[in-house]
Structure 1
């Protein structure tokens, strides 16, 4: 498995992944944030690739010296294989390279169920940022 920056040729595969893994409402919100992040800084959209296929994606952003993990999605057949863990570790590394002072996990009604996953990575309760509005309004 390889973690790398999103490339334009990945767009269709990533869109299909998001449509399959996320609820319809979550996918709609995520696609908007995904497009905005690509226009701001595509280096903060990471994909996990396995045998030439997209296995997962992580969308991050930076706002005022804080790095946010906005959305993570992994195909079901790749779950439990360290794909999500590798995506988060790679984003954390990118944030450190950019002198981000704090990494936060953006939590909303769509990904609250992932809290145990993030906690298993050592994320503490103070590292969760509860979004009351879509990320596109918070960051930029």
Structure 2
């Protein structure tokens, strides 16, 4: 498995992955945020591939000097193989390189089911960003 930065040629397979993994409402919200993040800082969108096939992706953002894991998606056939963890570790490294003051997990209605996954990686409830104020990549 390889984790790397998003490339323009990844757009179609990534959108297909997101459409497959996310609910319709989550997909629509994620695509807007995804487009904004790509235009602002595409280095915080990472892709996981196996044999040149895209099997996972993560969208991160930096807002007010805090790093946020916004959305992670892994193809159902490749879940529980460490791909999500690799994506999170890689994005954490990018956040650390940029000296963010804190790393948070966006805990919106769509991420609630995977919060235990983040907890298994050492994150705690204090690291979950639950706010009525939306992140810039969501609010526009």
TM-score in terms of structure 2 length = 0.95
Offset, 1:94 = 0.2
Question: Quick one: structure 1 residues 115 and 68, their matched pair in 2 at CA, closer, same or farther if it must change by over 3 Å?
Answer: same
Residues 70 and 135 in structure 1, CA contact (< 8 A), matched pair in contact too: no
Q: Deviations over 1:101-126 (max 9, x none)?
A: 11000011111000110000000111
How many Å separate the matches in 2 of 1:137 and 1:81? 29
Question: Quick one: structure 1 residues 70 and 42, their matched pair in 2 at CA, closer, same or farther if it must change by over 3 Å?
Answer: same
Unaligned runs of 5+ in 1: none
Offset, 1:134 = 4.5
Aligned positions, number: 140
Runs of 4+ in 1 over 2 A off after TM superposition: 131-140
Residues 61 and 139 in structure 1, CA contact (< 8 A), matched pair in contact too: no
Within-5 A mapping of 1:20-59: 20-59=20-59
Within-5 A mapping of 1:1-140: 1-132=1-132, 134-136=134-136
Unaligned runs of 5+ in 2: none
Offset, 1:138 = 6.3
Q: Deviations over 1:79-117 (max 9, x none)?
A: 010000000000000000001111000011111000110
Offset, 1:136 = 3.7
TM-score in terms of structure 1 length = 0.95
How many Å separate the matches in 1 of 2:44 and 2:25? 23
Q: Deviations over 1:63-85 (max 9, x none)?
A: 11100000000001110100000
Secondary structure in structure 1 of the residue aligned to 2:109 = coil
| Root-mean-square deviation (Å) | 1.5
